[in-house]
């Protein structure tokens, strides 16, 4: 499939006013995307759990206008600092949504997780906005096919923030061509279709908030540093191999192997940051303290709890729902002490985005 299929030729005058809203979740990658080619094409395939609690809710009022424009309210207040990112996104998707040039968008958006929690909202935010734009396209007569609707929403989300393309549906989505993933694409995310072992359908993710502030190096800068990185080729190969292995593990329920792959992915991601030029470290001392505690606790109790990291200092603690009681006690008694003001968010694997208006 080429990008051409996503180019909409529709008549905007069919609808002068249209209001729609979508709630989209964040996602946590088990096999990480780190490194890309222009424009937002991943250097390797990735696979993530879609979350259920950490979400962005976005409502958009589309009104016919002389030229494309937008205003934005975030949690009840104007937020000019978000404008450049939204403007870039709208400019980038215009070739695929030319009808947008005839609309003013009034965007109202809010997150379910606290602002400045150190949780990136770009994935959930871009997915909710892309879905809202696809809903308008559907009202105008396009995207009548359900599969194409979600493909395009994921395609547009990707142009806003790469990993956002995995926030459209659940419970797991892959992104990036991979020989073992049927229908996988570099252009959009695809629901992971193999039958998941029961244990993974309700997997828990407790996000331990080690550092609530902005990270010192953005993901965009990090992806860029993979260009010419001395270990880049091996890293991309490793990710492809991990995905092949993870596909089997997700079907056979081998939690020991699951843990080995997931923790290795997290540490490899940070190893890439620490070995780039310039090098940098996003883990904090308390991140490392948590990783050591998790490994020790797992060894002592045999409870299959493991960690993963995104591009920041916070730790995602992953474990089966059946171990929730013991792990909750471990978090309260030990891990929360390493969190900023003891803060953590309780999340779990989710179903994907939901239409709210
Ligand atoms: O989508 P971006 O550009 O914010 O990059 C996301 C990168 C990681 O979160 C570190 C990994 C991933 O696959 O989500």
Decide if domain 3-196 falls under CATH 1.25.40.20: no
In this structure, are strands 17-31 and 354-355 parallel, antiparallel, or unpaired?
Answer: antiparallel
Ligand 1 center from residue 229 Cα (angstroms): 17
Residue with more model confidence, 2 or 132: 132
Q: Give yes or no for residue 310 CB within 6 A of ligand 1.
A: yes
Top mutation candidate among 24, 26, 33, 218 for ligand 1, by most atoms within 8 Å of CB: 33
Give start-end residues of each CATH 3.30.70.890 domain in the chain. 201-348
Angle between helical axes of 83-93 and 122-139 (0-180°, round to 10): 40
How large is the C-alpha radius of gyration of the chain?
Answer: 20
| Backbone phi and psi for residue 206, each to the nearest 5 degrees, phi listed first | -100, 120
Residue 269's pLDDT band, with cuts at 50, 70 and 90, is very high
Ligand 1 site, residue 99, Cβ cutoff 6 A: no
3-state secondary structure of 255: helix
Which one, of 167, 129, 150, 163, lies nearest residue 26 by Cα? Answer: 167
Q: Does residue 270 have its Cβ closer than 6 Å to ligand 1?
A: no
Any ligand 1 atom below 6 A from CB of 46: yes
Sign for the CA dihedral angle at 46, 244, 25, 100 comes to positive
Burial class of residue 343, CB neighbours in 10 A (0-12, 13-18, 19+): middle
Band (pLDDT 50/70/90 cuts) for residue 120 is confident
32 lines ligand 1 (CB under 6 A): yes
Q: For residue 153, is pLDDT > 90?
A: yes
Q: What is the residue-averaged pLDDT of the chain?
A: 96
Report the 10 Å Cβ neighbour count for 99: 22
For ligand 1, whether the C-beta of 311 sits within 6 Å is yes
How many A from CA of 271 to the centre of ligand 1? 15
Phi and psi at 316, nearest 5°, equal -95, 120
Determine whether the shortest distance from the Cβ of 124 to ligand 1 is under 6 A.
no
Atom nearest to 123 CA in ligand 1: 1
Check if the beta carbon of residue 282 is closer than 8 Å to that of residue 217.
yes
- Write out the E strands in the chain: 17-31, 36-37, 41-42, 46-64, 69-74, 77-78, 103-111, 172-175, 189-191, 204-208, 306-309, 315-319, 344-348, 354-355
Task: Work out whether the CA dihedral 79, 84, 88, 91 comes out positive or negative.
Answer: positive
The CATH superfamily label for domain 201-348 reads GHMP kinase, C-terminal domain (3.30.70.890)
In 302-344, which residue ranges form alpha helices assigned H by DSSP? 324-333
What is the Cα–Cα distance from 125 to 116, expressed in whole angstroms?
Answer: 15
pLDDT at residue 119 greater than cutoff 90: no
Q: What is the pTM of this model?
A: 0.97
Question: What Å distances lie between residue 209 and 21, 114, 215, 220, 337, CA to CA?
Answer: 29, 11, 12, 22, 10
CATH 3.30.230.10 residue window(s) in the chain: 3-196
Is residue 205 in contact with ligand 1, taking CB distance under 6 Å? no
Taking only the tens place, the pLDDT of each residue in 288-318 is 999 999 999 999 999 999 999 999 999 999 9
């Amino acid at each position: 499939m080429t990008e051409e299929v996503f180019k909409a030729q529709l008549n905007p005058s069919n609808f002068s006013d249209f209001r729609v809203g979508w709630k989209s979740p964040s996602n946590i990658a088990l096999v990480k995307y780190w490194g890309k080619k222009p424009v937002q094409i991943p250097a390797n395939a990735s696979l993530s759990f879609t979350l259920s609690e950490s979400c962005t809710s976005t409502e958009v009022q589309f009104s016919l206008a002389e030229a494309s424009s937008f205003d934005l309210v975030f949690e009840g207040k104007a937020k000019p600092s978000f404008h450049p990112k939204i403007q870039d996104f709208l400019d980038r998707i215009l070739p695929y949504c030319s009808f947008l040039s005839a609309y003013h968008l009034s965007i109202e958006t809010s997150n379910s997780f606290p602002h400045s929690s150190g949780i990136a909202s770009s994935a959930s935010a871009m997915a909710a906005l892309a879905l809202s734009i696809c809903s308008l396209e559907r009202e105008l007569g396009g995207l009548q096919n359900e599969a194409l609707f979600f493909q395009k929403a994921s395609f547009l989300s990707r142009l806003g923030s790469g990993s956002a393309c995995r926030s459209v549906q659940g419970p797991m989505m892959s992104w990036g061509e991979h020989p073992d993933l049927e229908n996988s694409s570099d252009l959009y995310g695809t629901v992971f279709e193999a039958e998941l072992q029961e244990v993974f359908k309700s997997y828990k993710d407790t996000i331990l908030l080690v550092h609530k502030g902005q990270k010192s190096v953005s993901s965009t800068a990090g992806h860029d540093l993979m260009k010419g990185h001395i270990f880049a080729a091996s890293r991309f190969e490793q990710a492809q191999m991990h995905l092949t292995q993870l596909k089997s593990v997700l079907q056979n329920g081998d939690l020991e192997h699951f843990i080995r792959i997931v923790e290795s992915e997290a540490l490899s991601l940070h190893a890439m940051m620490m070995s780039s030029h310039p090098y940098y470290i996003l883990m904090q001392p308390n991140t490392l303290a948590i990783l050591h505690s998790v490994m020790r606790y797992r060894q002592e109790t045999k409870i299959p709890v493991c960690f993963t990291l995104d591009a920041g200092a916070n730790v995602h603690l992953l474990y089966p729902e059946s171990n929730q009681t013991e792990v909750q006690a471990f978090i309260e008694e030990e891990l929360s002490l390493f969190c900023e003001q003891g803060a953590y968010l309780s999340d779990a694997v989710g179903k994907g985005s939901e239409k709210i208006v």
